[in-house]
Amino acid sequence: MMVRLSALSAIVLAFFVLTGCVNTPTEMVQTKDDRPFIMFSGAQSGDVVVLDGINLGLASDYITGKSGMRIESGTHILQIKRAGETIFNQKFYVSDGISKTFTIGGN
């Protein structure tokens, strides 16, 4: 009887020890989006952003001080089209952590 009780105690003790080993340490990792972004001032309703030949939507969605368009680091060609005509065309370079504002002219 005593041997049986010792064996049962050993099993219960082993169970508690092993369940304590199951909890693995966790580590919280946060990633910061440090990509550059561009914004526009002077954009009119309907002005379209074309970056490196790709239509990225309306310039009015990325107004200075409100929101920026995240882009990859590097050299880009930016065009702004109004009623199908290119009214702004510029080659520029941006690196990580940089914000750049383009002033769109024309009426």
Per-residue confidence (pLDDT) for residue 25, from 0 to 100: 72
The residue length of the chain stands at: 107
| pLDDT greater than 80 at residue 107 | no
Closest to 39 (Cα-Cα) out of 95, 91, 74, 78 = 78
Give the separation between CA 85 and CA 68, rounded to whole angstroms.
23
Which CATH number goes with the domain that contains 86? 2.60.40
Domain assignment present for 30: no
The sign one gets for the Cα dihedral 55, 58, 64, 67 is negative
Domain with 99 in it: 37-103
Give the separation between CA 89 and CA 92, rounded to whole angstroms.
10
Number of domains in the chain: 1
Domain assignment present for 84: yes
Dump pLDDT digits (tens) for 7-26: 777 777 776 666 666 666 77
Give the separation between CA 65 and CA 43, rounded to whole angstroms.
13
Dump pLDDT digits (tens) for 38-91: 999 999 999 999 999 999 999 999 998 888 999 999 999 999 999 999 999 999
One-letter identity of residue 73: S
Please name the residues in contact with 96: beta carbons below 8 A apart, sequence gap of 6 or more: 34, 35, 36, 73
How many other C-beta atoms lie within 10 A of the C-beta of residue 102? 19
Band (105; pLDDT cuts 50, 70, 90): confident
Domain assignment present for 66: yes
